[in-house]
Each structure stands twice: as C-alpha cells, then as structure tokens.
Amino acid sequence: MSDSKPLADQVALITGASRGIGLAIARRLGQMGARLALCARNDSVLQKAVAGLHADGIEAYGWPADVTQPGEIARLLQQTNSQLGEMDILVNNAGIGVFGPAHEQSEADWDRVHTTNLKAVFLLSKAVAPQMIARRRGHIVNISSLAGKNVFAGGAIYCASKWGLQGLTGCMAEDLRQYGIRVSSVCPGSVHTDFSPHAGKAAERMLQPDDVAHVVAMLVTQSPTGFASEVLLRPTQKP
C-alpha cells in the first residue's frame, strides 16, 4: 500500500456500476488501486464501462447480474471471489425510482422499487458479510439519498425505500462493527445523471457523480479507530 494507491490489492464490488454514480465510484476506487468487480443488468453498457476503465489502466471485470435475485447474487460472488479474491469493499449503488402521488401508484411499482432499493441491499450484504466477518474487516457503503431524510410530493414510494435503507444501514452497522466491518450510508441530494429528470434545475449547480465518489473514497480510507456512519451531501449552491 502507498499514499498514491491506498486501496492497493483490495477488492471492491460496485452494483449499478455501468454509468452515472456507480461508474464514477468505480473509477475513483480503481484510481486508488482497488481491483474492481462491476455489475449491472445491461451487459453491453457494462462492458463498455469496463473497457473505459481498462483504457485508464484500471483492473476491472464486469458481470451482468440482477441483484434482486439470490441465485444471481451467488453467481456474482463466485465470479468475483474466483477472479479477484474475497471482497474488502461492497458499494450497494443499484437503485430505481418511480415518482408520483402514492394513491396513483400500483402495487407493482411499490414492489419493484423496494425490491431493488432495499431488498437487494439486504440480500447482497447478507451474502458478503460472512467473508468479511471471517477476515474481521471490510466496508459496506450504501448509496441512499436525502429522500431518505426528507419528504417531497410525488416521492412516496422512493422515499419509503430510502428511509428503509437508512434503517437497514444503521442496524447493519451496529451488528457488524464488532467484527471490524464499517457500514455507512451516503445521502446525496439531486445528482446530475440520467436517473430521473430534474426539470428547472441548473445542471452546473447540481451535485456531480464525482462528488459522490469522493465521499465513498473518504469512507473506505478512514482511520481504523472510528467511522462515519452517515454522510449527507448537498450542492454548494441550490440548483
């Protein structure tokens, strides 16, 4: 390990990593020396992202996976462990949003958002935790949202999933800290990606994916005697 490569020889798995916030996090951790496993549902977009990382001299592998499915999670972990070794860092970034008044949304909308934004984090973290516990170290970083702290019109299903993610993250942190595993959430405001339309907001004033990546880099390089369990991230100027 060196100051320029503080994550040398560490293995990081990032979900939802083919674009936007996930890809920015992957690039930042790769620049810091981590060996990367990336997953997303769209394999063609994922492989294009991996090729871009290779062009930057970053070791990265991309495996398509639906992290709402336990069988695909098991296959993803087997591929990662076989190719790279056991995980030091897990970044749960995959997420979706459905927006509109709660009374106009369907049960299927509710299930789709909560399965991706909340259940998938539970399933993947549960699958990774045993190897981290055995090694008595590791970082789990859940990409949440300020929507997990605040409410807004039309955000009922999305906010509910992120408030749930905040609760899950906090409890996981308490369950795993005795094993040297640090679990944290990052709660950004609106980020300039294609995740959802941001009508009326100035893109240059919004948070950028690299801003979230910077916070994740900070979380996985903390001193060994403490950890930041939650980071709220806002733009310098209101969009």
Residue 207 lies inside a defined structural domain of this protein: yes
Would you state the structure tokens that stand for residue 206, as one six-digit string? 């919004």
Structure tokens belonging to residue 97: 């949003």
**What pLDDT score was predicted for residue 198?**
65
pTM for this prediction? 0.95
User: Residue 203: its pLDDT value, please?
Assistant: 81
Is residue 114 in some structural domain?
yes
Tokens of 188: 């950004």
pLDDT score of 1 more than 70: no
- 39 contacts 46 by C-beta, under 8 angstroms: yes
> Per the domain annotation, does 105 fall within a domain?
yes
- Angle formed by the axes of helices 43-55 and 20-31, to 10°? 30
Q: Is the pLDDT of residue 195 over 90?
A: no
Here the CATH number for the domain that contains residue 113 is 3.40.50.720
Contact 160, 114 (CB under 8 A): yes
Q: Please name which of 42, 4, 46, 2 lies closest in space to residue 26, comparing C-alpha atoms.
A: 46
Percent of the chain past pLDDT 90, that is, above it, reads 90
Q: If we measure between CA atoms, which residue out of 161, 134, 138, 125 comes closest to residue 219?
A: 138
Of residues 81 and 237, the one with the higher pLDDT is 81
Our measurement of the distance from residue 234's CA atom to the centroid of its chain's CA atoms, rounded to an integer in Å, reads 17
Say if 5 falls within a structural domain: no
Cα 192 from Cα 169, distance rounded (Å): 25
Instruction: Specify if 3 maps to a domain.
Output: no
Task: Express each pLDDT in 198-230 by its tens digit.
Answer: 666 778 888 999 999 999 999 999 998 999 999
Residue partners of 202: CB distance under 8 A and separation at least 6: 239
Is residue 211 in a domain? yes
pLDDT at 200: 65
Q: Is 62 helix (H, G, I), strand (E, B) or coil?
A: strand
Q: Does residue 197 surpass a pLDDT of 60?
A: no
Domain span holding position 130: 11-233
Give the mean pLDDT of the chain. Answer: 95
| Tokens, residue 126 | 């549960």
| Residue 239 falls inside a structural domain | no
Question: Which strands form 138-143's sheet, in the order they lie side by side?
Answer: 60-62, 35-39, 11-15, 89-92, 138-143, 181-188, 230-233
pLDDT digits (tens, 9 = 90+) for 50-100: 999 999 999 999 999 999 999 999 999 999 999 999 999 999 999 999 999
Residue numbers annotated as active site: 158
The structural domain count of the chain equals 1
Q: Is residue 6, in this structure, part of any structural domain at all?
A: no
User: What is the reported pLDDT for 47?
Assistant: 98
Q: Is the pLDDT of residue 112 over 70?
A: yes
Q: How confident is the model at residue 237 (pLDDT cuts 50, 70, 90)?
A: confident
Q: What is the average pLDDT across 189-196?
A: 81
Convert the pLDDT of each residue in 134-168 to its tens digit: 999 999 999 999 999 999 999 999 999 999 999 99
What are the backbone dihedrals phi and psi of residue 126, each rounded to the nearest 5 degrees, phi first?
Answer: -60, -35
**For position 2, what pLDDT does the model report?**
57
